Amino acid sequence: MAQVLQIQAQLITSPIPSSVVDPNLIAVKLIGACADHANVRQAALIFAHLASPNIFAHNATLKALAQNSHWFHAIQFFNHQVSSPNAPNPDEFTFTSVLKACAGLAHVVNGQKIHAMVTKQGFESNLFVRNSLIDMYFKAGYLLIARHLFDEMFVRDVVSWNTLVSGYCLCGCADEARWVFDRMREKNFVSWSTLISGYARMGRLEDARRLFDEMPERNVVCWNAMIAGYAQNEKYSDAIEVFRMMQQFGGVVPNDVTLVSVLPACAHLGALDLGKWIDGFISRRGMALGLFLGNALADMYAKCGCIAEARRVFNKMEERDVISWSIIICGLAMYGHADEAFGCFYEMLDCGVKPNDVVFMGLLTACTHAGLVKKGLNCFNTMDKEYGVSPKVEHYGCVVDLLSRAGELDKAEDMISSMPMKPNVIIWGALLGGCRIYRDSGRGQRVVQHILELDSDHSGSYVYLANVYSSMGRLDDAAKCRLRMRENGVLRTPGCSWIEVDNTVYEFFMGDLSHPESNKIYSMIRELMWKMKLAGYKPKTDLVVHSIDEEEKEDALSIHSEKLAIAFGLISTSEGTTIRVVKNLRICNDCHDAAKIISGIVKREIIVRDRSRFHHFKDGVCTCSDYW
Ligand code: ZN
Ligand code: ZN
C-alpha cells in the first residue's frame, strides 16, 4: 500500500505525460489496489486526476465503490458517467457494478431505470448483467420479477442458480430455496454455504446442520457458514464444537471470518483457553488486527475478566471505533472499576470519538456496581445535554437500580414517573429490589401491582408478596402466593453455569446429575459443606433469595449450577489453578457466601461472571465487597 500511495502522490503532483505511457493503464492498477485495501477515497482521487478517463478507469472506480459498500456514491458516479457527453458508454462491467449498488440499497427505482438502459443497449441477455439484475430485484423484494428474469434466461451458469437460492433465502423462503437447490445440476461451495446460512438465519439449525453434514467436501466459507449460524443463534457450544471439527478433520485453515464467529462464543461461555489459543494463532499467522477481529478479540478478553489483555489487544489494533472503546469501558464496569472506566471515557473523548448509548450503559453500570450515586446521576444528566445521546429505557433502568440499591427509594420512584417512555418490568423490578433490601413493604406492594399489570406471571413479585405476607402473619395469603409461583415456575430461565477444563466447556444446570463424574462432584460438595460449616458458614435456605427475579432456595438435591461448576473445577484442575465460572443469571446470596469461604479453604482464586458483573473471590473475600 505504501508503494501505491507513493506512486499516487507523484501522479497528483506531476501528471504523467500521455506520450510516455497511457495514464489510464496506471490509474486502473492503482484504483484496483486501493479498492482491495478498502481505500475508496484514494481511488476516487486518482480517478479525478485523469484528464480523459476511459471505460476501464470508470469501471475500476465504480467497482471500488460498489465492492466497498459505498453504494450511494456508486450510483452517483454512474449517473455522472451517463450524463457526461464525453464519458464512455457503460458496458457489462459498468452495469454489473451499479446494479450491485442498487441491490445493496434495495433501491428498485434506480434499479428499474438501469434495467431500462440495459435493455436499450442490448445487454439484457448478457449472463453477468442478467445475474446482477436478478440479484437486484430479489434484494429489493421483487420476487416475481426476479424469478421471471431467471425463467426467461437462455443460458444459466452456477451463479444464476446461486443467485436464485440466495434470493429466496433472503426473502425467508427456505423451502423455495431448497427446491431450487435440489434441482441444480452443478453446485459449488457457494451454493451449499448460501443455503446453510439461509437456514441458520431463519433459525432452522437442524436443517442447516443436516445439509452441512451431507456436503461431499467443504472449504473455509462452508465451515464459516455453519459456525456463524450457531453463534448467531446463541448456540455457543455447538459453534465451538464445529470449530474444533474444522481443525481436526477439515483440512482448512480458519480465517478472520471464522475467528470473528468463534470469539463471541468463547466470550459467552468464558472459554478463555480457546480464546487465548486464537490470540496466539492470530499472532503466529501474522493476521492483521482489523476492526472486526480486533474488537472480537478484545471483547473476548474483557468478558473473560482479563481486562489488561483486552487493553493490550486494543492498543495493538490498526484502527478503533466507538465499539472498541465501549468494550474496554464495559469490561472495566463489569469489574466495578468505576474510576478506570471514566478515565477510559475521557481518553476516548480526547481521541475525538463520539460516545454512543453502549458507552453510557458501561459508565452507569460501573457507578451501580460501585455504588456511586452522585457520579451516576451526573453522568445520566449529561449524556443527552452534552453528548447528544438520549437515554433509552436501559439507561433509566440502570439509574433506578443505582438509586434503589443506595436506599434512595423516593428518588428512584420519581425517576420512574419522569420517564418519557413506559417503564418495563425490569425497571419496576429494580425498585422492588430496593424495597426488599430497605424493608419498605408499603411501597413494595404498590410496585408489585405495577409489575403484575405488565406481567401477571412475574414470579419475583409472588416471592416478594409471600415474604411480606408471612412477616405480617398472613400465612394463608403467603401460601397462595407460593402456590401461584410454583405454577409459573416452569417458565423461568433455568440457572446454568459453564466452566472450561482442558479445552472443553462443561455445562451445569441446577441439581444436574448428567455429568459422568457426578458422583465425584457431589462428594466434593459434601466435603466442602462440612469444611465450610467448621469455618462458620450457615446455608441461607430461607425463601428470601438475594435477587427476587432469580433462583429459588436450594435443598440437598437441587444444588445451584455455580456450586457444581466450582466443585468440578476443583476436582479436575491442579492445585492453585484459578477457577473461572460463567453463570447466565445473577449469583445468589448463598452461592456468593459459599464461594467466598471455599476460596479461603482451598486456597484458590475463584472468578464468577454472572449476568451483571465479575466476582473475584480470594482468601475469603470478594472484589464486589458484597455489593452487587
Ligand atoms: Zn446459588
Ligand atoms: Zn461478589
pLDDT in tens, 387-409: 999 999 999 999 999 999 999 99
- Ligand 2 mean position, distance from CA 451 (Å): 28
Q: How far apart are CA 131 and CA 152, in angstroms?
A: 12
Q: Which residues pair with 618 in a beta bridge?
A: 621
Per-residue pLDDT averaged across 289-317, rounded? 94
Helix (H) or strand (E) holding 232: helix 220-232
Q: How far is the CA of 593 from the centre of ligand 2 (A)?
A: 9
Ligand nearest to the CA of 606: 2
What is the Å distance from ligand 2's center to 295 Cα? 27
Q: What is the pLDDT of residues 437-478, one digit of tens each?
A: 888 989 999 999 999 888 877 777 887 888 888 888 888 888
The stretch 222-228 carries a mean pLDDT of 95
532 with 540: CB under 8 angstroms? no
Q: What is the whole-number distance in angstroms between the Cα of residue 409 and the centre of ligand 1?
A: 27
Give residue 545's pLDDT: 41
3-state secondary structure 499-547: EEECCEEEEEECCCCCCCCHHHHHHHHHHHHHHHHHCCCCCCCCCCCCC
pLDDT of residue 498: 93
In the three-class reduction of DSSP (H, G, I as helix; E, B as strand; rest coil), residue 606 is classed as strand
Cα 26 from chain centroid?
Answer: 42
The number of the ligand nearest the C-alpha atom of 511 reads 1
What domains lie within the chain, and their CATH numbers?
Answer: 402-487 (1.25.40.10), 496-622 (no CATH)
**587 alpha carbon – ligand 1 mean position (Å):** 6
- Nearest Cα to Cα of residue 262 among 284, 229, 213: 229
CA pair distance 184, 169, nearest whole angstrom: 16
Q: List the grid coordinates of 175.
A: 423451502
What spacing in Å lies between the alpha carbon of 591 and ligand 1's midpoint? Answer: 4
| Ligand whose nearest atom lies closest to the CA of 628 | 2
pTM flag (> 0.95): no
Cell of 220: 473455509
> Which grid cell sits at 253?
485453515
3-state secondary structure of 264: helix
The predicted structure's pLDDT at residue 322 = 95
Ligand with an atom nearest the CA of residue 607: 2
Beta-bridged to residue 616, according to DSSP, are: 607
CA–centroid distance, 366 to ligand 2, in Å, is 14
Q: Which ligand ends up closest to the CA of 618? A: 2
User: Separation of 589 CA from ligand 2 center, angstroms?
Assistant: 9
Residue 87 is placed in which grid cell? 464519458
Measured in Å, residue 88 CA sits from the centre of ligand 2 at 69
Round to whole Å and give the CA distance between 53 and 34: 17
Q: What are phi and psi of 500, to 5 degrees?
A: -100, 125
413 confidence band (pLDDT: 50, 70, 90): very high
Distance 562 CA to ligand 1 centre (A): 7
Q: Give CA–CA dist 179/194, Å, rounded.
A: 14
454 CA → ligand 1 middle, Å: 27
Q: Which one of the ligands is nearest to 625 CA?
A: 2
pLDDT of residue 549: 45
Residue 316 has pLDDT above 70, yes or no: yes
24: pLDDT strictly greater than 50:
yes
